[in-house]
A and B are shown apart, each in its own frame.
Chain A
Amino acid sequence: MKSPAVLKMALLPGLMFASALATAAPVKIALVETLSGPQAATGLTYRAAVRYAVERINADGGWHGEPLELLEYDNQGGPAGAADKLKAAISDGAQIVVQGASSAIGGQITEDVRKWDLRNPGRELIYLNVGAEAQALTGDKCQFYHFRVAGNAPMRVNALVAGMKQDQALGSKVYAINQNYSWGQDMEQAIVDGAAAGGYTVVEKTLHDVGKIQDFSPYVNKIAASHADTVMTGNWGSDLLLLMKAAKTAGLKARFGTVYLDQPGNIANAGDVALGNYVAQTFNPEAAGEAGAAFMQDYRAKTGHEPTFIEPQTVFGMLLVGEALRQVPAGDGKLNVRKLALALEQASIETPMGKLSMRAQDHQALLPLAVSVVSRDAKYKADGTDMGFKPVKRFTAEEAAVPAQASCRMQRPD
């Protein structure tokens, strides 16, 4: 019989060895975003949200005690730069790639990730899409390792129509004006498809060049000539701002139903023009109640500003990944990305807006939406003005969901 002291001494190195094995290797998350150039504003917003989310996941314990590591890459605003930086991220050991600011870049990344995963089994990575809302990404480009935690055009349009109808602001004649690229074309299709259910007719549809038009008054003339009650648009940035300003200066009576009216700077710049217009949001602090208020405060304390626009959906999407990580066993210390993907497609969490979950069929998240109107009565003001977004109608994830596209034929790993 060995003396207890010797036994302990024999056990000690063994325990240390075993504990080293059980410790997880850090999970690396790569943010490949537009951090410079003309579209940097949106990319930097995504970065702020992702940084906050990673900090929160780490505060909750990370992955089996090991904190997540965030690597940041600037894709310089284009698909070629994104492809380069993706390769750099892979070479640095990233296992999850996060991006959202452009559907063109999203298209490049999802294809590159698919090809890499095909060629390198055992070293896969996941593409977490936090904002590229083009239909193709969960349609004919859908793939097992792509997950979208943002909305898409039909979801936004259906919510907008239902919300405006409830407020009796929709009318029966709708004019669709959108940007001439995949997102705008998806929006136009969704607006046309929703006409029967929404009880309106699309009197005219227009597609215009992206970011090239300074003077929207010719379009405003067309809208006036069509006698539309509502203008539905997926425009963002200066395209939305200039359109609304042109409408106001011309005294156009129609209401606007938008998707991106809550982009920082829009309300401040538009001023009174914005009042009475509608937006379909993924997060509205007033609608989110107490949990929403707590989230706002925490975010403001950590980043210096309140979460708006795409920040909440990004944070909730990352938290969903955090939840999925919890389901993946530590194993031999290195994260098994395939198991993470399998866990992620079944994951669901409670967010201040309601339940957020992933649909395994096409990897489109089912997320709650809210339709709001710009008003002075809103509880939370936007952009330092006296106006804010007052919620009109809330949709749970089930209510907001649209069926998966038939063009998505996902090849699952066996």
Chain B
Amino acid sequence: MEQLATPLLNGVIYGLLLFMVSAGLTLIFGMMGILNFAHASFYMLGAYFAYALQDVFGFWPAIIVSPLLVGVVGILVERYILRRVHRFGHAHELLITFGLSFIIVELVKLFFGNYPVNYRVPASLDFAAFTMGSLDYPAYRLFMGIVAIGMFVAIYLLLSRTRVGIVVRSAIHRPKMAEALGHNVPRVFMGVFGVGAAMAGLAGAVAGAFYTTSPNMALELGVLVFVVVVIGGLGSLEGAMLASLLIGIVTSVAVGIDASLADFMALFGAGDLAREIGGILVLKVSSLAASLPFALMLLVLLVRPSGLMGDKE
């Protein structure tokens, strides 16, 4: 049981981290129909801003100011770049975010260098929360989980209980009508983009200290975030939470499974046949752990393309 508990907990926390980054992406897609390829770059910017501000302000103010800065960057990007390209169609918006992701990564490399930077967990949080079996469980991981859950609750309440939330939701479903009723829909779009970017920035600021902060951060997380958004349903916040937890747990638990398809077929007596065929059948699940999310994504796309909790097409 304990064998399963640690991977489960780790998977949940990793999933919550994925949620922090993908929440913004799914909201942006749901509202504006833009698949923002630069979203993972906002995650990276959050980490780098927090690293740069840490020396000036200290850790806690830095992780509050850094997401705000990233939010400002997001607003500027939406106002001056995306809005211009909006009328040319979705493909152009997508491509521009792709070009932007390149520019952001190169700018980060220009100012901070190619190697990982020394952004570390502060001493105040660098202790073990409890022990599970023979291993300690770091408190900072729990902190990351708490931040993620707090963010989910805040955004959910914002969207469902406040007036701003109602306007945002109506702009998602019926933008023309909302505009006709007198709401400034372009400004709402700008705000949503900014908030989405800020959420990714917060994720970066918090996670960058625990994992490494390097120019390749965006690449490492980028495609996985897309997988989460697709599985959860484009535009659904609850779906993003569910999908992130699913992906986090699956990757975490899969690492412990050293069996392969051939072993599974051995249950039916076809083990030797499978081993002879070789190839994909003898690959261990543990070494494929990082590829499982894509298989899941393909499955979901074929069976239920709107995702686990998205609107039916």
Contacts and interface: CB of A to CB of B under 8 A. Distances in A.
Interface of A: 38, 40-41, 44, 180, 206-209, 211-215, 217-222, 224-225, 238, 241-242, 245, 249-252, 264-265, 268-269, 271
Contacts of B282: none
B66 to A, nearest CB: 19
A269 B118 CA distance: 5
B287 interface: yes
Interface stretch (B80-88, B132-140, B150-158, B171-179): B132-140
Contacts of B134: 224
B216 interface: yes
B114 A40 contact: yes
Interface string B287-300: 10111000000000
Contacts of A221: 3, 6-7, 10, 135, 256
A242 B109 CA distance: 20
Contact of A241 (B3, B11, B141, B212): B212
Given A221-B6, A221-B7, A211 B14 contact: no
Contacts, number: 104
Given A44-B114, A217-B10, A222-B255, 7 more contacts: A215-B14, A215-B251, A219-B255, A221-B6, A238-B220, A251-B136, A265-B116
A186 B136 CA distance: 32
Nearest to B139: A249
Contacts of B289: 208-209, 213, 218
Most buried by B among A209, A218, A264: A218
A323 to B, nearest CB: 32
A221 B135 CA distance: 8
Contacts of B221: 214
B252 A212 contact: no
B7 A38 contact: no
A271 B137 contact: no
B291 A209 contact: yes
Interface residues on B, range: 35 or more
Contact of B255 (A41, A218, A224): A218
A212 B220 contact: yes
Contacts of B136: 249-251
Interface in B53-70: none
B3 A238 contact: no
A218 B256 contact: yes
B120 interface: yes
Contacts of B210: 245, 249
Given A249-B136, A264-B115, A218 B7 contact: yes
B26 interface: no
19 contacts: A41-B113, A41-B115, A206-B287, A208-B255, A208-B289, A208-B290, A209-B289, A215-B211, A218-B289, A221-B10, A238-B216, A245-B210, A245-B211, A250-B137, A251-B136, A252-B135, A265-B118, A269-B116, A271-B120
Interface in B4-52: 6-7, 10-11, 14
Contacts of B251: 215, 218
A44 B215 CA distance: 15
A20 B134 CA distance: 76
Most buried by B among A40, A219, A224, A250: A250
Contacts of B140: 249
B260 interface: no
B166 interface: no
Contacts of B211: 214-215, 242, 245
A41 B140 CA distance: 29
Most buried by A among B7, B131, B211, B219: B211
Contacts of A269: 116-118, 120, 212
Contact of A207 (B118, B220, B287): B287
Contacts of B7: 217-218, 221
Nearest to A267: B118
Nearest to A222: B256
A218 B289 CA distance: 11
B114 A224 contact: no
B121 to A, nearest CB: 8
Contacts of A224: 133-135
Nearest to A249: B138
A64 B286 CA distance: 57
A215 B250 CA distance: 12
B217 to A, nearest CB: 9
Contacts of A44: 114
Contact of A209 (B11, B256, B287): B287
B107 interface: no
Nearest to A41: B114
A124 to B, nearest CB: 34
Contact of A250 (B14, B118, B135): B135
B216 A180 contact: no
B97 interface: no
A111 to B, nearest CB: 25
B211 to A, nearest CB: 5
Interface in B212-238: 212, 214-216, 219-221
